[in-house]
Amino acid sequence: MKKISLLLSLFILVSCAHESSEELTIYTSRQPQLLEPIIETFYQETGIKVNLLSGNAQELMERIAIEGDESKADIFMTVDAGVLWQAAERDIFAEIDSGILKNNIPEYLRDSNNLWFGLSKRARTIVYSSDQFSDSDFSTYEDLADPKWQGKLCLRTSKKVYNRSLMASMIDAYGFDQAKKIVSGWVSNLATEVFSNDTNALKAVSSGQCGVTIVNTYYLARLLDDPKYNNLNLFWANQNDRGVHVNISGAGIVKTTKNKTNAIKLLEYLSSEDAQDFYASANKEYPVLNGALVHDAIRDWGEFSEDGINVSKLGSLQKEAVFLAQEVGYK
């Protein structure tokens, strides 16, 4: 009888262990409501439950490091290639061998060592007030350093990784000294103190506080739901040379995961056509998968040529971008 009880206990333990191995936990800096519908669909299709733990990206990386081998994180998901690069540098990720991910996600939108993969694209470009200007007034990010824009430019703070990555792309394209001249020109042309976020910069342009800014397109798409901001127009920068600056949201598999096989399944699913149709459009971003649907709110902006820099460089040049901003007084 005791032997039967012992065997039953062992069966229960094995069953529980198997059940927990069918669950995944994502540590993410993305808003949970953007992910919940798609992970529910993944669960319905695969039977694999996905738990979300959301928070600040830097704090989540620190938590993974502190938890060590006992971390519950299977996947770390965040925004900006700069942050994903930092996570790789901190040895958080495991290498992923997946032909599906390599096929679905262009090489320039993933880590060269297959430690992380982009899952949506985030274009950062010029937005201006149609009350003051028209498309013919604009050309490039670099042109906004020209003195003709003095007192007309609004910018988000350089402390945000989005702008650090934009500056990193210019360092890669032009070298540190030339990029420094450009950003110094931006600072000279500021109409106001820098803003804490893109939305406030857009509102300042709309109200006439300034005439032009540089933002991620999804912030504009959200704001245009309100007709009072219909004087905001988008301009695709640098279409005659290196193209629009593009960043990503993305993810990698935490090296201490006990469930790498299912973690790969989830990332592959997020890169698939069905998932991409929702994943990118949920935040009015652009899909990484060619042919996936684009949200109605951004389709009317048309196609654009994008900078083909490997996004991992946006991470490796972050320190130089921070130093550049400090040198020119870009707060």
| CATH number of the structural domain spanning residue 107 | 3.40.190.10
- Looking at every residue in the chain, the average pLDDT score rounds to 93
| Average pLDDT rounded to a whole number, residues 190-215 | 98
Is the same domain home to 172 and 79? no
What backbone phi and psi angles, to 5 degrees, belong to 278?
Answer: -100, -45
Residue from 51, 28, 29 nearest 40 by CA: 51
Distance CA 116, CA 92 (A): 10
Shared domain check, 267 and 207: no
The predicted model gives 33-47 an average pLDDT of 95
- The CA angle 229-157-65, to the nearest 5 degrees, is 120
Average pLDDT of span 8-30: 59
Cα 12 to Cα 23, 173, 206, 318: the distances in Å are: 17, 59, 62, 50
User: Mind listing the pLDDT tens digit for each residue in 50-103?
Assistant: 999 999 999 999 999 999 999 999 999 999 999 999 999 999 999 999 999 999
Burial class (CB in 10 A: 0-12, 13-18, 19+), 209: middle
Q: What is the pTM of this model?
A: 0.91
- 107 within domain boundaries: yes
Contact between residue 144 and residue 281 where contact means Cβ atoms under 8 Å apart = no
Q: Around 301, how many Cα atoms within 13 Å sit in the side-chain half-sphere?
A: 25
Q: Distance between CA 302 and CA 280 in Å, rounded?
A: 16
Q: How many domains does the chain have?
A: 2
pLDDT at residue 208 in the model: 98
pLDDT, mean of residues 175-192: 98
Question: Looking at the structure, do residues 175 and 324 belong to the same domain, yes or no?
Answer: yes
User: Is there a domain that residue 209 lies in?
Assistant: yes
One domain, residues 218 and 259: no
**Residue closest to 77 by CA, chosen among 117, 36, 105:** 117
Same domain as 136, residue 49: no
Q: Is residue 210 part of a domain?
A: yes
Q: Are residues 62 and 49 in the same domain?
A: yes
Q: Do 139 and 273 share a domain, yes or no? A: no
Q: What is the mean pLDDT of residues 232-250?
A: 98
Looking at residues 251-259, what average pLDDT do you find?
A: 98
Tokens for 300, please give them. 């009317």
pLDDT surpasses 50 at 10: no
Q: What is the pLDDT of residue 15?
A: 32
Same domain, 107 and 142: no
Q: Quick one: average pLDDT of 129-145?
A: 98
pLDDT at 310 over 80: yes
The pairing of beta strand 212-216 with beta strand 153-154: parallel
Long-range pairs for 204-210: beta carbons < 8 A, 24 or more residues apart: 204/154, 205/127, 205/128, 205/129, 205/154, 205/232, 206/129, 206/231, 206/232, 208/129, 208/131, 208/132, 209/154, 210/151, 210/152, 210/153, 210/154
* One domain for residues 183 and 41: no
Can you give the pLDDT at residue 21? 57
SS3 assignment, position 79? strand
Residue 299 lies in a domain: no
For residue 47, pLDDT beyond 50: yes
**Residue 304 resides in a domain:** no
Q: How far apart are CA 283 and CA 219, in angstroms?
A: 9
Backbone angles phi, psi at 179, to 5 degrees: -60, -35
**Host domain of residue 239:** 122-245+311-328
240 and 126 in a common domain: yes
pLDDT value for 1: 41
**Structural domain contains residue 303:** no
- DSSP label of 291: T
Look at residue 29 and tell me if it is in a domain.
Answer: yes
pLDDT single digits (tens) 149-162: 999 999 999 999 99
Q: Do 178 and 220 sit in the same domain of this protein?
A: yes
The token duo for 20 is 């927990």
Task: Output the pLDDT for position 6.
Answer: 33
More confident residue, 20 or 118: 118
What does the DSSP assignment read for 39-54? Answer: HHHHHHHH--EEEEEE
Q: For the chain, how many helices (H) and strands (E)? A: 14, 10
Say yes or no: 109 and 179 in one domain: no
For a pLDDT cut of 70, what percent of the chain falls above it?
A: 94
Mean pLDDT of the region 306-314: 96
